[in-house]
Chains A and B, each alone.
Chain A
């Protein structure tokens, strides 16, 4: 089973500005889980309402697939340097 990333590190460095962010994703994950549980009845209701239009499967599978994408972010690293400018994004 894929584990979600634990940390997010971002760093933007421009000619005149700098921005750094270090985010402990393992603290945000439980909050998102609680939010998902709260929204679950609404999702089920939306799936029932949209069933005649063929969108129910999309609504039901959206959450798990997005979760899968988020878990797959672990290991993503982008490091672009152009002279004095730099963009660095890392999920660990």
Chain B
């Protein structure tokens, strides 16, 4: 724990500052140093999420004659990132041909604008994704990161 943080917490303990003031001081310190030093349990858990899970569980209320579909898929995040890296193999002249074909199909999109860094950001943002669908004949469907 840094010296400044300890000083703020000591002031809070002695009652010299209120909780809100201490929080503001800590946040300001975190912005100035670029490192809060703290990480909540949620943030730590988010950084440690290693797998994408897709789970489909059957409806327990379904009749005995109903078909039971059960899906349990676990995909490592490293595999998703490695797949994203494969896009860097596309040579520049190939992207030109791909763009031409896309334009012919009416898709106005430039493949060369896709960069692995952007896709990495997308993968990182997906760590907060959680889909939970309950009910219906299929039972429960969950898509989440762990």
Residues of A at the B interface (CB closer than 8 Å) are 2, 53-55, 57-58, 61-62, 65, 68-69, 71-83
Contact = CB atoms under 8 A, between A and B. Distances in A.
Interface residues of B, number: 25
Most chain A Cβ neighbours within 10 Å, of B70, B74, B76, B92 = B76
B83 interface: yes
A73 B82 CA distance: 10
Nearest to A64: B85
Chain B, interface SS category: mixed
A52 B30 CA distance: 51
A63 B97 CA distance: 24
B81 interface: yes
A68 B88 CA distance: 13
- Shortest 8 CB-CB distances between A and B: which pairs? A72-B78, A72-B79, A81-B70, A79-B72, A72-B82, A77-B74, A75-B76, A69-B82
